[in-house]
């Protein structure tokens, strides 16, 4: 028999695993070299995301065509992601403009992003920026700066 669990024992996102720590940077090639040296890892490939409008990207409720460059470092217990915004309206550019290079978000793998969006909104954590890439998955940034002091990303469907 499974003991009865109070609601407060369930994580809102269904997980307590931080799958990514993401840092917004001005020059991803420079930052990728610095992270590679720091962690003793090869300099990773840099990807450019699809045009935002091709992946139904929205930012603050409006369609956004913003793109970014990404690079990933697989650490022992999580992944560090570097993000260089390439212009256009996005949470990437917003955070870089407001605070300079810094941690942009921590990420969690979820199921049922739409359900999580409703639960987070009820907890005072509104959606800020999202997109869905049909071949890969859906990413959503939630603005928990007032409650948790950071942005939270949910990832659904990414391998």
Query: Which of helix, strand or coil describes residue 65?
Result: coil
Q: Which of 45, 77, 122, 159 binds a second copy (CB under 8 A)?
A: 77
38 contributes a contact to a second copy by CB under 8 A: yes
| 15 makes contact with a second copy (CB under 8 A) | yes
39, 75 Cβ separation under 8 angstroms = yes
Nearest-approach distance from CB 132 to a second copy, in angstroms: 24
Query: What is the bridge-based pairing of β-strands 79-85 and 58-59?
Result: unpaired
Residue 86, CB-side half-sphere exposure with 13 Å CA sphere:
13
Among 47, 61, 63, 75, binds a second copy (CB under 8 A): 75
Of residues 100 and 134, the one with the C-beta less far from a second copy: 100
144 binds a second copy (CB under 8 A): yes
Q: Which residue in the set 65, 101, 133, 156 belongs to the binding site for a second copy (CB under 8 A)? A: 101
Between CA 132 and CA 148, with CA 56 as vertex, the angle to 5 degrees is 60
Tokens standing for 127?
């959606």
Contact 129, 51 (CB under 8 A): no
- Positions touching a second copy (CB under 8 A) are 7-13, 15-18, 21, 23-25, 31, 34-41, 75-78, 99-103, 106, 123, 144-145, 147-150
């Amino acid at each position: 028999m499974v003991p009865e669990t109070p609601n407060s024992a369930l994580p809102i996102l269904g997980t307590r695993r931080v799958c990514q720590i993401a840092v917004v940077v001005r020059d991803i090639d420079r930052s990728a070299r610095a992270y590679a040296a720091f962690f003793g890892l090869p300099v990773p490939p840099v990807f450019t995301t699809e045009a935002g409008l091709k992946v139904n990207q929205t930012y603050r409720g409006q369609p956004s065509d913003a793109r970014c460059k990404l690079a990933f470092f697989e650490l022992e217990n999580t992944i560090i992601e570097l993000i260089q915004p390439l212009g256009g309206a996005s949470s990437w550019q917003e955070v870089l403009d407001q605070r300079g290079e810094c941690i942009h978000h921590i990420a969690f793998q979820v199921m049922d992003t739409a359900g999580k969006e409703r639960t987070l909104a009820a907890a005072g954590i509104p959606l800020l920026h999202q997109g869905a890439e049909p071949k890969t998955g859906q990413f959503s940034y939630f603005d928990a700066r007032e409650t948790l002091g950071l942005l939270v990303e949910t990832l659904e469907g990414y391998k």
